[in-house]
Amino acid sequence: MLLYKTLVSFLKDEEYRDLLLTTSVVIAFGSVIYHYLEGWTWIDSIYFSVITLTTVGYGDLSPQTNGGKLFTIFYIIIGIGIILSFINSVYNHYYDTKSGDKTPRNSKEEVLR
Overall number of domains in the chain: 1
112 part of a folded domain: no
C-alpha closest to that of 81 among 34, 35, 31, 19 = 19
Those residues whose C-beta lies under 8 Å from the C-beta of residue 109, and which sit 6 or more positions away, are 103
Residue 33, in any domain of the structure: yes
Residue 95 lies in a domain: yes
User: What proportion of the chain, given as a percentage, has pLDDT over 70?
Assistant: 85
Residue 53 lies in a domain: yes
Residue 3 three-state SS: helix
The Cα-based distances of 44 to 29, 48, 52, 79, 111 in angstroms read 14, 6, 12, 18, 40
CATH code of the domain covering residue 95: 1.10.287.70
Residue 108 one-letter amino acid: K
Q: Does residue 8 lie in a domain region?
A: no
Whether residue 108 is contained in a domain is answered as no
The answer to whether the predicted template modeling score (pTM) of the entire model surpasses 0.85 is: no
Q: Answer whether residue 13 is part of any domain.
A: no
Range of the domain at 32: 26-100
Query: Is residue 111 over pLDDT 50?
Result: no
* Confidence tier at 34 by pLDDT (50, 70, 90): very high
Tens-digit pLDDT profile for residues 44-73? 999 999 999 888 888 899 999 999 999 999
35 located within any domain: yes
